[in-house]
């Protein structure tokens, strides 16, 4: 007598979509793009090169300029590179069509935006802060015998270096949100350069107290208040500037999230 044993088929375990997996997927996309390392690499080179030039050619003529601002003068150009990377992370998926596959994998959509913002913020701040530290230490090789001699342990130095990195990161996070809003790389770059970088400079020329007070809370002016040991004249205190930047970034990302839910891909 033979006994036949029947084994019931085992149901396939469905793929569990978790926040960790969404973050991992976005990090994988970010680190495998050549544009990520080209833009970040250029931003690093600009800050370090300009910092070395400023330190090695200092002759005492700029004694009234804050040492951190003086050393990190190249960050005024590098922040454009980091902002462009933020835009590419969101807007470029629409031009390549990758967004369809992304949204098919994550139908709720919003986790994708938050994951992009999260991995970008961590990467941008880490690279920018590390670059600031290296540039400051290298510049001090020439500045150590001048009136701009400082060390990392001096009061306010680490805070100003981190503040500069936070300002650039938050401005670039706004750029990331603009990329999601515009869904076009050229349009988002135009919106960032025109609306975030140039508009405050134009408004600052208007001799009206109300306008001047409002300008201090705009993103680029708030970022300028973060990277200095000495309080910047005509700007808010660093704490107020940081809160203002966080609010701006949150508003832009929230608007991007709302439109992401409502618009067709």
Q: Where are the domains of the chain?
A: 19-262
Interhelix angle 110-143/34-56, nearest 10 degrees: 20
Write the pLDDT tens digit of every residue in 155-169.
999 999 999 999 999
Lookup result for tokens 């090789």: 141
pLDDT at 80 over 60: yes
41 vs 16, higher pLDDT: 41
Rounded average pLDDT over 166-189:
96
What CA–CA distance (Å, rounded) separates 182 from 94? 10
- More confidently predicted of 60 and 145: 145
Write the DSSP symbol of residue 228.
Answer: -
Q: CA–CA separation, 265 vs 41, rounded Å?
A: 32
Classify each residue of 7-38 as buried b or exposed e, where b means 16 or more C-beta atoms within 10 Å of its C-beta.
eeeeeeeeeeeeeeebbebbbebbeeeeebee
Average model confidence (pLDDT) across the chain: 90
Selection from 3-17, 50-64, 189-203 with the highest mean pLDDT: 189-203
* 39, 85 contact by CB (below 8 A): yes
Question: 110-143 vs 157-182: helix axis angle to the nearest 10?
Answer: 140
Tokens 């001090």 — which residue? 140
Q: Residue 51: which pLDDT band, with cuts at 50, 70 and 90?
A: very high
The single residue listed with the structure tokens 């003068």 is 73
- Helices 34-56 & 75-96, crossing angle to 10 degrees? 170
């Amino acid at each position: 007598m033979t006994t036949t044993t029947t084994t019931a088929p085992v149901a396939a375990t469905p793929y569990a979509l978790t926040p960790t997996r969404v973050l991992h997927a976005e990090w994988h996309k970010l680190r495998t793009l050549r544009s990520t390392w080209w833009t970040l690499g250029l931003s690093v080179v600009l800050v370090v090169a300009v910092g070395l030039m400023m330190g090695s050619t200092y002759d005492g003529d700029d004694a009234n300029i804050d040492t951190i601002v003086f050393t990190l003068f190249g960050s005024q150009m590098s922040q454009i590179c980091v902002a462009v990377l933020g835009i590419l992370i969101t807007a470029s998926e629409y031009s390549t069509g990758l967004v369809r596959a992304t949204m098919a994998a994550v139908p709720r959509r919003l986790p994708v935006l938050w994951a992009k913002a999260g991995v970008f913020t961590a990467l941008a701040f880490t690279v920018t802060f590390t670059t600031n530290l290296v540039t400051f230490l290298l510049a001090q090789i020439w500045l150590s015998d001048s009136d701009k001699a400082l060390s990392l342990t001096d009061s306010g130095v680490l805070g100003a270096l981190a503040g500069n990195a936070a300002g650039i990161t938050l401005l670039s996070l706004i750029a990331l949100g603009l990329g999601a809003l515009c869904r076009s790389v050229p349009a988002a770059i135009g919106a960032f350069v025109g609306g975030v970088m140039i508009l405050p400079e134009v408004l600052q020329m208007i001799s009206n107290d109300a306008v001047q007070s409002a300008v201090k809370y705009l993103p680029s002016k708030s970022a300028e208040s973060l990277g200095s040991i000495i309080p910047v004249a005509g700007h808010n205190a660093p704490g107020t500037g940081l809160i203002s930047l966080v609010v701006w970034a949150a508003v832009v990302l929230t608007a991007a999230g709302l439109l992401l839910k409502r618009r067709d891909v």
